[in-house]
Amino acid sequence: MILDTQKVFDLLLALLPEIILSVWAMVLLLFAAWRHGDPRAQRQTGWLSLIGIAAAFAACAWLWASGARLDGMPTSVAVDGFRWAVDLIVLLGAGLVVLLSLDYLDREGIRIPEYHVLVLFAAIGMMFLAGGEDLFVVFLGLELMSVSVYVLAGISRKSPASAEAALKYFLLGAFASAFLLYGIAMLYGATGSTRLGIIGFQIGSLQLAHHPLVLAGLAMVFVGFGFKVAAVPFHMWTPDVYDGAPTPITAFMSASVKAAAFAALVRILLRAVPQLHGSWDVVLWWLAVITMVVGNLVALAQRPLKRMLAYSSIAHAGYLLTALVGGSMAGAAAFLFYLLFYTLMTVGAFAVLAFKGRGGEREVLVEDLAGLGETHPWLALLMTLCMLSLLGFPGTAGFIGKWYILTAATGAGYAVLAAVLVLTSVVSAGYYLPIIMAMYMKPRLHAEAHAGVSVPAVMRGVLAAVAVALILFGIWPNLPMEAARAGSHAFLPDQVVPISTRMIPR
């Protein structure tokens, strides 16, 4: 399906998922304000939010299946398989978080129906962030996502830790956004445009690869995105914010926020500055190495489970950076594949933590899971699969994802980086495997240790589907691999219409 954005109907089709979710979110905001005093409003808003997420998901799937692409002058939002793939992953993560939050919010006394509306607004920002073909759209998407998540991190008004998390995230996030905006201004000053395709054309045609403004602007962009993806040394906010935020929001930040920010970085690198690969690959190489090493080593020292998973997410940011260093379509495909299953295993692990804990789950230690395999075998099995998949154990989707990243890295000539990934993954066994050992090999701390753990029927079905996916696609990965490759075709040279032909009036 070829879309001409000079036509209103085609333009609306190109933005259909975002339009659906935006209209639904605004309607739900009115509903939440009207029913704010009703104790049932939180759950009602949550279920209604899932309808909007499902409709946007269906629109994305339909546009991708129909081969939607642009014809005519470039727009500010991409219409390609990479955008649809990331949008589907983001919406999947948002849907899982809403489902996880329904009972969690009631249990924790957070009866705020606007919570789910903020999740929708954050997802809209992520979708614009992932599909932005203009740096201004990328920035607007980033800010919409960030402001929503700032509020969500501090939405537990009774918790000082939640308020502290929101304040730290807001202050450091604003600082990082300033770097990003300054980098955008520098790139505009050097190339005269904020459109990614035009920036790439100008850098190549005017030989701006070594222009100081271009290099400085790209460095500023790296700082801004380094903060959002929690790459070392821009990670210092991550443990405290993840620890203090409500657990479903921690899962949301660890999975979906990271997915959208990485997707925007991929598009910028492969669309706007591919000619600068010889400069930015060194930066990403060192960022990936330091992030993998620091994330895994510090995670080894953590006993609180939530904080340990926070440092684990930092390490996985290093793995995703490894996929990008080569600047190739193979790396983009590996990124998409790993991102999908990273979302599933991360949300699954935080879901187990949410069911086990109380009061924000900050005090849940690895030892507190002792005996969970005896009292709640299915929950322990899910946690085991998530830990093994995060570790990269053969037979799980996480193993296939890491293998795909290793293939992309070695194929691009980064064998040392691939070796670092393997070694740091071995180190991660030092904190993933003790969780499994505690659940199955240690007795409960006391007879009533897991008496309060209860999983709603809907979540049991959803988490069972997550567990099946981690095993099924670890054994038979063909379908998601083909989808990931199809998404990476957005960066084929013949998919980019020359700027000279784009600018000719029709």
Report d(CA 324, CA 337) in Å as an integer. Answer: 13
Torsion of CA 16, 21, 26, 29, to 10 degrees: 170
Structural tokens at position 123: 């997802």
Position 496 scores a pLDDT of 47
Position 360 scores a pLDDT of 63
Position 497 scores a pLDDT of 44
Report d(CA 500, CA 498) in Å as an integer. Answer: 5
Report d(CA 358, CA 441) in Å as an integer. Answer: 24
Position 493 scores a pLDDT of 65
3-class secondary structure, 237: coil
Cα three-residue angle 269-273-274, rounded to 5 degrees: 80
Number of independent structural domains in the chain: 1
Q: Give the Å distances, CA to CA, from 304 to 243, 309, 363.
A: 9, 9, 6
Structural contact between residues 230 and 261, judged by C-beta atoms closer than 8 angstroms? no
Query: β-pairing, 69-71 with 2-4?
Result: parallel
What is the domain extent for residue 469?
Answer: 2-502
Residue-level pLDDT, tens digit, the chain, 506 residues: 887 767 778 778 888 999 999 999 999 999 988 877 777 888 899 999 999 999 999 999 999 988 888 776 667 888 888 999 999 999 999 999 999 999 888 888 888 889 999 999 999 999 999 888 899 999 999 999 999 999 999 888 888 888 888 888 898 888 889 999 999 999 999 888 888 888 888 888 888 888 889 999 999 999 999 998 889 888 888 888 988 889 999 999 999 999 999 999 999 998 888 888 888 889 999 999 999 999 999 999 888 898 999 999 999 999 999 999 988 888 899 999 999 999 999 999 999 988 887 766 777 888 888 888 888 888 889 999 999 999 989 999 999 999 999 999 998 889 999 999 999 999 999 999 999 998 888 887 776 777 777 788 888 898 999 999 999 999 999 999 999 998 888 887 655 444 433 333 33
CB atoms under 10 Å from CB of 286, counted, come to 14
Position 504 scores a pLDDT of 33
Buried b (16+ CB within 10 A) or exposed e, 315-326: bbbbbbbbbbbb
Buried b (16+ CB within 10 A) or exposed e, 153-165: bbbbeebebbbbb
Structural contact between residues 410 and 322, judged by C-beta atoms closer than 8 angstroms? no
Return the closest-CA partner of residue 386 out of 311, 474, 449. 474
Report d(CA 171, CA 114) in Å as an integer. Answer: 23
If you search the block for the tokens 């045609």, which residue do you land on? 205
Q: Give the Å distances, CA to CA, from 143 to 147, 179, 181, 354.
A: 6, 13, 11, 28
Report d(CA 302, CA 261) in Å as an integer. Answer: 26
Residue 387 backbone class (left: φ over 0; alpha: ψ -120 to 50; beta: rest)? alpha
Q: Which ranges of 392-456 does DSSP label H, i.e. alpha helix?
A: 397-411, 415-441
